[in-house]
Structure 1
Amino acid sequence: MKNTLSYKTQTTLEELEGAMQSQKFYFDFMIDRKPLSKILGAKEDGMIGVLSTHKHGNYEIEKISELLLEKCSELENGRVMLYGCAECLDIMCGAITVKVEEINTSVIWSDFAYENEYEEPNFEPYKNIGSFEFDKETYKKLFTEMKYLY
């Protein structure tokens, strides 16, 4: 049975070293109605979803295109960033990435890892999570519709 994928608006406002950080709104991926950020522990690591409201559209559309496999990933290893630094979403600050594959009538997210571009991807924290398999047509429809939000 395939997994269901949807999204939900989330917000974060955190205090870091006594100073309030700016409030961020982002879309969290929901897999079978469970927040992927919670499954992966992204919030605990100070990360937000890459589909946010503070990069002003072009960045998010590029990320959606990567998730749709319409555009090559910005990462040399071809993996796609799902969660990153709440302040800048820069891979150098650390990010949670995923391998995205299209196989027949499915899109599969697998091999979740922590990456920062100066060390090898660390799969260990997520070794017991996934793979998630989505219906290709439903997946493409979801992300194509999300492009219109930007």
Structure 2
Amino acid sequence: MSAEYATFGLAPAIRAGGVLANGDYQVHRDFVDFIVDGRPLLFQLSDLDAVSPLASDIPPAIFTTHVRRLLLEAQAPLEEGRYVIYGCPECEGLECGAVTAVIEKAADGSDDFVWRDFAWQTSERADLELNGYHGIGPFRFRGDEYRAALGQLLAEGDEAQHRRRVLLIGARVATLAKLAAALRTIGVGAEIAADAAGVPADELRTYGAVAFGPTVPAATRQSVRAAFAAADVPVAYVDGLAPIVPLLVAQIEDALDRSPQEQRRLTHLAAGPRAAELDVTSTCRVQLTAYRMDRLSRTHVHEVFDEVLEPGRHRVPLAPRTTKGTSYVVARTSTHVLVTPTSALPG
């Protein structure tokens, strides 16, 4: 099959971390995704939980090697000229499986690059007949556009690892300590402070988000915002909904997501006492978890939905016991997380 021209670009993306309903931890990963014809290539692979080789938490020398491989300036890591396009987000080992493809210069002698023969690979050789992605590619990218996008990574590097830190502001020391521990477990740095007064601008620039506890006074919030504004540091601000650690982690994950809105799988979430409403842009697995606090401030967790959804708007019924009292819903895909109180949707 001849390769048709496609546009090539790059965009920041995440593998959403979190504290899952069963108590397990899912590691947060920042990476650069491939944008083909205006859409993340990862979305064409349905419900694949994976990251590209251009992850921000790998050593700079290895990051540079991955970029140069994509530019065909370094040897292919696999047989038959195959390159890893997406790998396991936990270990990146080939034995866990990876999406690979042949990357080569166009056969007509032009400066164009071709990606072809996509496959799921778990050993040194790919079996295209058994594990090929026959509906994806081949893609032909114009050389100048392709080189410019990847060359920009070499020129600027990736700063996500320096911004994957959260400043936690609040009075509940025990809750903040548990939250900080959970964030560090999934790979997000976290520090606890009473405010941001006197913190050097260089240190403020290392934060990607600031999370306020529910009881933080308005004056303190304004002071923190003023400190970041004075240092000219754009950060995301999170107003903690409740002292429930998995819920707060989900809010922070949403805040740290730097991917463009139009390139997200999960774009809308609202919930009421009887139903949740959500929008997805590509076929993917969606998990909904409800959290509520009873009158004794005890936390109750309910896994209410876990299915693969097609693109579009969906309405998911919620059992009354899952939303009784003060309650919240977290929607999760492999790449995005959204959080809402159950008062966000009438009825």
Same-fold status (TM-score > 0.5): yes
**Structure ranking higher on relative contact order (CA contacts 8 Å, 6+ apart):** 1
**Pairing 1:146–2:149 present:** no
Deviation string, structure 1 residues 54-99 (Cα, Å, up to 9, x no partner): 2122222111111100011121332010100101222222110111
Which residue matches 1:113?
119
User: By how many angstroms is 1:2 displaced?
Assistant: 2.2
Q: 1:1-150 alignment to 2 at 5 Å? A: 2-12=5-15, 13=17, 15=20, 18-41=23-46, 44-103=47-106, 104-117=110-123, 120-123=125-128, 124-148=131-155, 149-150=157-158
User: By how many angstroms is 1:143 displaced?
Assistant: 0.9
Partners of 1:65 and 1:46 lie apart in 2 by: 25
Q: TM-score, normalised by structure 2?
A: 0.40
Deviation string, structure 1 residues 91-141 (Cα, Å, up to 9, x no partner): 2221101111112131111100111226x4143451111111111122112
Provide closer, same or farther for how the CA distance between residues 50 and 16 of structure 1 changes in structure 2, counting only shifts above 3 A. Answer: farther
User: By how many angstroms is 1:16 displaced?
Assistant: 9.3
Partners of 2:27 and 2:45 lie apart in 1 by: 23
Partners of 2:41 and 2:48 lie apart in 1 by: 13
RMSD: 2.0
Percent sequence identity over matched residues?
26
Provide closer, same or farther for how the CA distance between residues 16 and 58 of structure 1 changes in structure 2, counting only shifts above 3 A. Answer: farther
- Which AA in structure 2 matches 1:88? C
Provide closer, same or farther for how the CA distance between residues 93 and 101 of structure 1 changes in structure 2, counting only shifts above 3 A. Answer: same
Deviation string, structure 1 residues 5-39 (Cα, Å, up to 9, x no partner): 11111112254964112211111111011110011
Partners of 2:149 and 2:68 lie apart in 1 by: 12
Number of residues of Structure 1 aligned to a counterpart in Structure 2: 147
Runs (5+) with no aligned partner, structure 2: 159-347
- Which AA in structure 1 matches 2:118? F
Q: TM-score, normalised by structure 1?
A: 0.87
Provide closer, same or farther for how the CA distance between residues 54 and 105 of structure 1 changes in structure 2, counting only shifts above 3 A. Answer: same
Larger Cα-atom Rg: 2
Tell me the SS of whatever aligns to 1:59: helix
Which residue matches 2:290?
none
- Which AA in structure 2 matches 1:2? Y
- Which AA in structure 1 matches 2:42? S
Provide closer, same or farther for how the CA distance between residues 17 and 70 of structure 1 changes in structure 2, counting only shifts above 3 A. Answer: farther
Partners of 2:23 and 2:126 lie apart in 1 by: 32
